């Protein structure tokens, strides 16, 4: 896997903790065990654009008021949705 930042071929899939601001701006949550790409050559750890979009869509489609301060990525994605998909994403 190639690193998006330094183009090294040493990047690998891993998991990590991220902090995300809720769509309404009321607070941030900690999401553990989040899929990530880590590069030992440059030290960068990041999420793919697709994963970022997936997290943002999920947070937009669920009742965020009931979320705890910390949860796993799997728990976040398992939250029941109020809508089937993000109808505002064009």
| Residue-level pLDDT at 40 | 94
| Residue-level pLDDT at 1 | 87
Tell me the sheet residues that pair with 13: 37
- Tell me how far apart the alpha carbons of residues 75 and 4 are, in angstroms, rounded to a whole number: 28
Domain positions in the chain are 12-77
| Residue-level pLDDT at 59 | 95
- Tell me how far apart the alpha carbons of residues 46 and 36 are, in angstroms, rounded to a whole number: 5
| Residue-level pLDDT at 4 | 87
pLDDT tens-place values along the chain, 90 residues long: 889 889 999 999 999 999 999 999 999 999 999 999 999 999 999 999 999 999 999 999 999 999 999 999 999 999 999 877 776 675
> What is the residue-wise DSSP string for 16-30?
EEEEEE-TTSS-EEE
């Amino acid at each position: 896997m190639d690193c998006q930042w330094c183009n090294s071929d040493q990047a690998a899939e891993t998991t990590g903790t991220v902090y995300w601001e809720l769509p309404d701006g009321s607070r941030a949550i900690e999401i553990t065990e989040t899929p990530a790409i880590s590069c030992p050559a440059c030290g960068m750890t990041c999420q793919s654009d697709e994963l970022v979009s997936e997290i943002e869509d999920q947070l937009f489609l669920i009742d965020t008021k009931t979320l705890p301060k910390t949860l796993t990525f799997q728990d976040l994605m398992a939250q029941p949705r109020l809508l089937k998909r993000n109808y505002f994403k064009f």
